Amino acid sequence: MKILIIEDEVELAKSIAEYLSEENYLCEFASTFSEAMGKIEVFQYDCILLDITLPDGNGLKILEELKKEQKQDGVIIISAKNALDDKIKGLQIGADDYLTKPFHLSELAARIYSVIRRKQFSNTNVVTQNELQIDLLAKTVSVSNEIIALTKKEFDLLVYFIGNKNRVISKSTLAEHLSGDFADMLENHDFVYAHVKNLKKKLYDAGCDHYLKTVYGTGYKWESL
C-alpha cells in the first residue's frame, strides 16, 4: 500500500513515514504545494495525508484537483487548524477523513486502514473469494482454511490485485506500487515478474484457483466474477 505524505514539517513527516513503514506501507513525501501537484499528476496512491497549510499554496486546492481529475486516492486531511469551517470544506470537497494535529501515530494508522478498507474492500476486514481468504488486519492469507506464508511484497501485491480485480495492471504500474517513484530509476521491471511468479506459485501450490492471469505484452489481471 502506497502513501503520499504532503507535509512541510520535515520531522513530523519523517516520524509518520517511520511508523507507517513498520505497518508495511510504502511512503513518499511532498513538502510543498508544487511538489505535491507534480506527484498526484503522475502517480496514484492508496491514501494521501494532506496538510492544508503549505508554504506555497493551500492544500485544499490539491484536494480540488484530485476530485476534478476523478482520481480515487483516499485523502485524510492533517492540519494544525482546528476550525470547523476548514474541516467542513475539506469533507465537502471530498476528503475521506480529517485529523487535527497533534495526533497519535497509532490513530493515524487506524484512520488510514479504515479509509483504504472502505474504498477498496467494502468496509470489511476479511476479503473472501471462494477458497481464498485474506485477513487485512492480521495480514494473513489462507486457502481452504490453511494459512500460507507470503512475504510483505507478495501480500501487498495480492491485496493490490484484489483491490483492482478485473482490471489489467501493467508491470510499470506494479513497479511503481512496490517501489514508489524509485521505479523510474530502475533499468527494468524484472523484480515485478519475480514477485508475481512467486505469489502465483504459493497460491496454486496451496490449491487456489488460477485467478491471477498474465495478459501477455500488457501485464496481469485478477479475475473475479
DSSP characters over 128-140 = EETTEEEETTTTE
Could you tell me if 105 and 36 are in contact, meaning their C-beta atoms sit under 8 angstroms apart? no
User: Which pLDDT score is estimated for 39?
Assistant: 93
User: Could you list the pLDDT tens digit for every one of the 225 residues in the chain?
Assistant: 899 999 999 999 999 999 999 888 999 999 999 999 999 998 889 999 999 889 998 899 999 999 898 888 999 999 876 667 777 888 899 999 998 888 899 999 999 999 998 888 888 889 999 999 999 988 999 999 999 999 989 999 999 999 889 999 988 888 888 876 554 555 567 888 999 999 999 999 999 999 999 998 889 999 986
Residue 67 one-letter amino acid: K
Angle, vertex CA 112, rays to CA 60 and CA 44, nearest 5 = 65
Q: Does domain 126-222 have CATH number 1.10.10.10?
A: yes
Contact 24, 34 (CB under 8 A): no
pTM of the model: 0.78
Neighbours of 133 (CB within 10 A): 16
Distance CA 109, CA 25 (A): 10
Contacts of 117 (CB under 8 A, 6+ apart): 123, 124, 125, 136
Fold of 2-120: Rossmann fold (3.40.50)
Rounded Cα gap, residues 130 and 128, in angstroms = 6
Query: Domain locations in the chain?
Result: 2-120, 126-222
> What are 4's strand-pairing partners?
28, 48
Quickly count helices (H) and strands (E) in the chain: 8, 14
Sheet architecture: strand order including 132-135: 126-129, 132-135, 140-143, 146-148
DSSP 181: G
Spatial separation of the C-alpha atoms in residues 200 and 195, rounded to whole Å: 9
CATH topology agreement for domains 2-120 and 126-222: no
Q: State the pLDDT at residue 88.
A: 84
